[in-house]
Amino acid sequence: SRACLPSYLETITVPHELFVIDNGSTDDTVSWLREVSTLPQVTDTLRLAKNNPAEALNLGLSRCSGRLLHIMENDYQYLEGWDLEIVALFDEIQQLGQLALFKGKARFHASNHEGKIWLARQNVCTTSVLRRDLFFEAGVRVKGHYLGNRYPNDHDLSMQVIKAGYLVAWPNRDL
């Protein structure tokens, strides 16, 4: 969290809302969250009493008003221009429903779509960007059950996007 958030704040250039959620931490995250809540770029901070990743992510998403929803877990760092590239891809590819923020391994790729994205064989990771209407109109939600060693269930999230009629993809490069 202490590396992810600064990376995000230093690279985000598009208008955005930022909800930081403490998912039942038992370390000094609570005091760090108090500090973070004073940053002008942070829309709100929330704290769950117990660890429930799916509940935390859905709570944050439910408060968003933007046309794109970014699910940001705390183990990523962002590269310059990532946000502009994501917005451009969603603008250019109207069928794009979910996009990961790193290109993923070749074995996870199906075909290259328009030379801009790699369609996912099945799913992308939970840290991704979704179209707003998938959450607010199609009822796509992060589920809280395990699939293998993944929690929340990123496979189910991507399958919901596909069932709603949208593409799930990896970018051509790490963002």
Q: What is the pLDDT of residue 147?
A: 54
Query: What is the CA 97 to chain-centroid distance, rounded?
Result: 12
Q: Give the residue-averaged pLDDT of 52-72.
A: 91
Q: pLDDT over 70 for what percent of the chain?
A: 95
pTM: 0.91
Q: What is the pLDDT of residue 79?
A: 94
Q: What is the pLDDT of residue 68?
A: 98
Q: What is the pLDDT of residue 76?
A: 87
**For residue 18, is pLDDT > 80?**
yes
- The more confidently predicted of residues 120 and 20 is 120
Q: pLDDT over 90 for what percent of the chain?
A: 64
Q: Are 42 and 18 in contact (CB under 8 A)?
A: yes
